[in-house]
Amino acid sequence: MTRKYFGTDGVRGRVGESPITPDFAMRLGYAAGKALLKQALESEGDRPSVLIGKDTRLSGYMLESALEAGFSAAGVDVCLVGPMPTPAVAYLTRALRLQAGIVISASHNPYYDNGIKFFSAHGTKLPDEVELAIEAGVDQPMACVSSADLGRAMRIEDARGRYIEFCKSTFPNDLDLRGLKIVVDCAHGAAYHIAPSVFHELGAEVVAIGAQPNGLNINDGVGATAPKALCDAVLAHRADLGIALDGDADRVQMVDAQGRLYDGDQVLYAIVRNRARHAPVKGVVGTLMSNLALEHALCKLGVPFARAAVGDRYVVEMLREKGWLYGGENSGHILALDRHTTGDGIIAALQVLAALREVGGELSELLGGLRLYPQKLINVPMARGFPWRDDPQIQCALGQVEARIAGRGRVLLRASGTEPLLRVMVEGEDAQEVATTAESLAAVVREVAA
C-alpha cells in the first residue's frame, strides 16, 4: 500500500487546501483514535490517551480543535499542551505514559503551511505500517461513540517546566554556562518561551531574538532557515555563541563569536568527536545530503559512517537497526539517542556547549580541522508525482554530470518529501565547478518539469 497523505514527516501542505483542512484533521484524529482503541482492546489496556502540541502558526488553533474533536468522537482522551517544540511532545508522550503524541507544525515552512505528525508511546516516529493503517481509516465513514464513552480533554499546565528540566538534565551536572553570552534565535516558533529559559537557567547570559510570535511570522527572516539574523545579532551583541532553531525546534544551526555559521554536519561532528574522547563511537548515520567531508573526517577518527534516506525518521530507523547512537542531517536535525529519542535542536546545542566547557577553546576548534566541501543545492518546482526518474533528458544530463565529476565530487537528485520540489545537489572540491554544474543540471530539470 502506497502513502496517500503521509510524507516523510507526517501530513503537510497549504492551509485550507487538502489535506490541511479542518474536516481532514477531524477525520485523521478519528482514524488514529480508532487505531489506538483497537490496540488497547487487543492488549486489554485502558482507554488510550494522546497528547497534542503545536507550534505558533495561527492555523494551529483550528487544527488542534479539529483533531481534538476527532479523537473525542473515537473515545480517546486528549491532553493539550499548546505551543511546544516537536521534541518536547515526543518527551512528554513518553514521560506521561501516553499512547501517542501529535504535533501540529510545518517545521521550517512559512506560516501558511501546516502539518500533522505523530509520535509513538516510546517518543519515536510512528512506523510506516502504523501510518498506513491510519491512512486506511481516514477515508472511511466517520461515526461517534456514545456520549458516555466520548474522550475527555484536559490541559497539562506544567508541560513547559517539565520539558525545560528534561533539556537541562542532558547537560553534565558538574558543568554550567556561566560567563557565556549566547544569542538564541527561536524563529518566532514553538521554543520561544522555552529555549531562552533553558540556557539562562544553566547560567548563560541570554539574548533572545525571534521570540515574539504573532501567528504569522514563524520562520520569517529568522531561525535555522534564515541564519543571517543570528550571525548579525551575535556580532552586534558581541556574544560568545549563537543558536538558531527552526519553527518547531527540532533542528539547529550554530554561530561562533566571529559570526561564522555551522550547519548540522558540523554540529554532529563536534558532538561525535567529543564523545569519542570518552569512549569508542560505534558509528554515525547521515543522509544522502550529508557532506562528503563529514564522512572523510569521521573515517579519520575511526568511526564508521552510513547514509540513510533524507528524513530524520530514516536516520533513526538506521541507527536502531545498527545499534548506533549518533546521526543527523546537514539541515540541523541531530540525533543523540543517549539523550533523546528524536532530533532536538536545544539538546543538540547543549551537547556542543558541554564539549566546549570540557575542552575549552572556540567552536571552530571542536571541529578539528573539518572543512566542508562546497555544496550547491537548487530546489526546482515540480508537480507532485512527476516521473523524473524515468525522464530520458534528466537521466542523460545526470549521467553526464556524474561522469564529469567522478572521483572529485558527487551529485544527487531527490524529490522533497514535504514540498512539490526536486532537489538538485552537487558537491565537490571546486566551488566554481560545483555551482556551474548544479545550475546546468537544474536548467534541464526546469525545462522538462515545467
Q: Any idea which residues carry the catalytic annotation?
A: 107
Between CA 53 and CA 82 the distance in angstroms is: 5
Q: Please, what sign has the CA dihedral across residues 166, 172, 175, 180?
A: negative
Encode burial over 236-270: b for 16+ CB neighbours within 10 A, e otherwise. Answer: eeebbbbbbbbbbbbbbbbbbbebebbbbbbbbbb
Place of cell 537521466: 395
Distance CA 372, CA 407 (A): 16
- C-alpha 100: how far from its chain's center? 18
Question: Which residues lie below 8 Å from residue 329, measured CB to CB, with a gap of 6+?
Answer: 251, 264, 286, 287, 289, 290, 310, 312, 315
- In Å, how far are 263, 375, 376 from 431, measured between CA atoms? 18, 7, 8
Put the strands of the sheet holding 409-415 in their side by side order. Answer: 375-381, 421-428, 409-415
